[in-house]
Amino acid sequence: MLLSSSVAEQIVDQLSKVMDHHINIMDINGIIISSTDPKRIGTTHGGAVRIIKEKLKELLIEADGEYIGAKNGINLPIEFNNEIIGVIGLTGRSEEVFKYGQIIKKMTEVLLLDTYVREQKNIEQKAKDRFLEEWIFGRYDTNHPQEFKARAQMLGIDTHTAKRVLVFSVKKEDNTSASDQLQTDISHRLRNHLKTYPQSFLFRTSTLFICVFNRIPDEEIKMIAKEIEVIVTEQFKCKVYIGIDSNDPKPIKVSFKNANTALQASVKSNDNINIYDVVNFDIFINTMLSKYKEDFLDKFFNQSNQSDIKEYIDILRVFYACEGSINDASQELFIHKNTLQYRLNKIYMLTGFDPRKISLSYMFVIAIKIYDSLQSEKDL
C-alpha cells in the first residue's frame, strides 16, 4: 500500500486530537508528507531515511540536527502487511515522548488499516457500479458473454434471476439541483439501508439514482420506495420522484426504460411514486411533450382561451365526479340545473362531443388528464 499525503493528513489530524506534541509522517523516501508543523512538510527527515534503509524498529533522536531535517523525538516505522511504507515521528524531549512511541505507531497502523478497508470497499463499489451501468446501458452481456458472466460472479451479482428496477431523482426543496456531494451522501445512506434486501444494488448517473432488485411483488417494492422517500425528504430535506418498472419478467434494459417512463410521470404529476403499467393512461399522458398537450386542448376546445378552458375543465371534473348526475353536479357547483345544462351544451357545441353521453365521456376524461398534467408541469 502506498502512503499518500491525503491519507497521512487524515492520520495526523486524528492523532493531533489526542497528542500535544508535534507529529510528522514521512513517506518511503523519508520526505515529510504531513505534519502538525506545516513548515516541515516537503523536507527530508534524515532519521526516517535511516529507519527505512536499516529497517530499524525505532529511532530516538536526542537533539535537533542530529540527522538532516530532524528534531529531537521518537520515530518509528509504519508497517503494512509486514512491510515498511513510511515513518511516524513525535517531536519532543526523549523522556517525554518515548513512552508514547509504540502507542502512536499502533494507532497509526490501525487508522491506516481502516483507511485501506474503506478504499477497498470504494473500489469494489465502483466496480459494481460500472458493471451495472454497462449491463443496463450497453451491450456488455451480449458482446462479451463469458467475460460478463465471470465478472458478475466475481462481484457477487446474480444476473440469472429476473430483476426489477427502481429509479429516482432528487431536487432541493427550492427546486434547485442537488449538489454532487449531496447526491453522494444520499447514495451512501441508501446503500446502507438497502443492505437488508438480498441482491439489492444502487448506483447513480449524473441525473439519476438507479436501484436493482431481484424480482419482488409490487407491495414490497412500493414499501422500499416509501422508505427511500422518507430518508431523502426527512434526512436530506430534498424532494424525490420515483419510477418503478412493472412486475413481469423482462430484460433489465427494458426494466430500466419502463422505470424511467414511470419516473417522468412522477415528475409531472402530484403522485411522486409511479409503477409502470401498460394500461395506466396517466403515465403516457405525462410523457407527452407539452406542445402536444397544448395543441390537443387548443383543438379540442376549438381555440378557446385559457380562462374558458379552465372553466370547462372544472365543470367536467365535477360532472364526472358526480357520475353524470345533473342534480348532484349543479349542487356541487352551486349553480342551477338549467345553468349547468346550458354550459354542457356549450361544451358540446365547441367540441362536437356531448359530455352527457357515456360513450363519449372518455374524450373528456382524457382532456381533464391532459389539462392536469400540463398544469403540473407549469407548477414545477
Per residue in 345-376, pLDDT tens? 999 999 999 999 999 999 999 999 899 888 87
To which CATH superfamily is domain 290-379 assigned?
PucR C-terminal helix-turn-helix domain (1.10.10.2840)
- Are residues 256 and 167 in contact, defined by beta-carbon separation less than 8 angstroms? yes
Q: Is the pLDDT of residue 53 over 90?
A: yes
**Every domain range in the chain assigned CATH 3.30.450.40:** 5-117
At 374 the pLDDT is 86
C-alpha distance across the termini of the chain, in Å: 50
Q: Is the pLDDT of residue 380 over 60?
A: no
Query: Could you tell me where the DSSP H helices lie in the chain?
Result: 5-16, 46-54, 94-97, 101-137, 140-143, 145-155, 180-194, 218-230, 252-267, 281-286, 290-300, 306-321, 326-333, 337-351, 361-379
Q: Provide the pLDDT confidence category of residue 278 given band limits of 50, 70 and 90.
A: low
Helix (H) or strand (E) holding 25: strand 23-26
User: Reduced to 3 states, what is the DSSP secondary structure of residue 193?
Assistant: helix
Distance CA 57, CA 12 (A): 20
**Every domain range in the chain assigned CATH 1.10.10.2840:** 290-379
Q: Is the pLDDT of residue 280 over 90?
A: no
pLDDT tens digits, residue range 114-148?
999 999 999 999 999 999 999 999 888 888 899 99
Distance CA 324, CA 364 (A): 12
CA 33 to chain centre: 34
**Every domain range in the chain assigned CATH 3.30.70.270:** 161-282
- Overall fold of domain 5-117: Beta-Lactamase (3.30.450)
CATH of 161-282, picked from 3.30.70.270, 3.40.50.20, 3.40.710.10, 3.40.50.1980, is 3.30.70.270
Q: Is the pLDDT of residue 12 over 80?
A: yes
User: What's the pTM value of the predicted model, to 2 decimals?
Assistant: 0.68
At 9 the pLDDT is 94
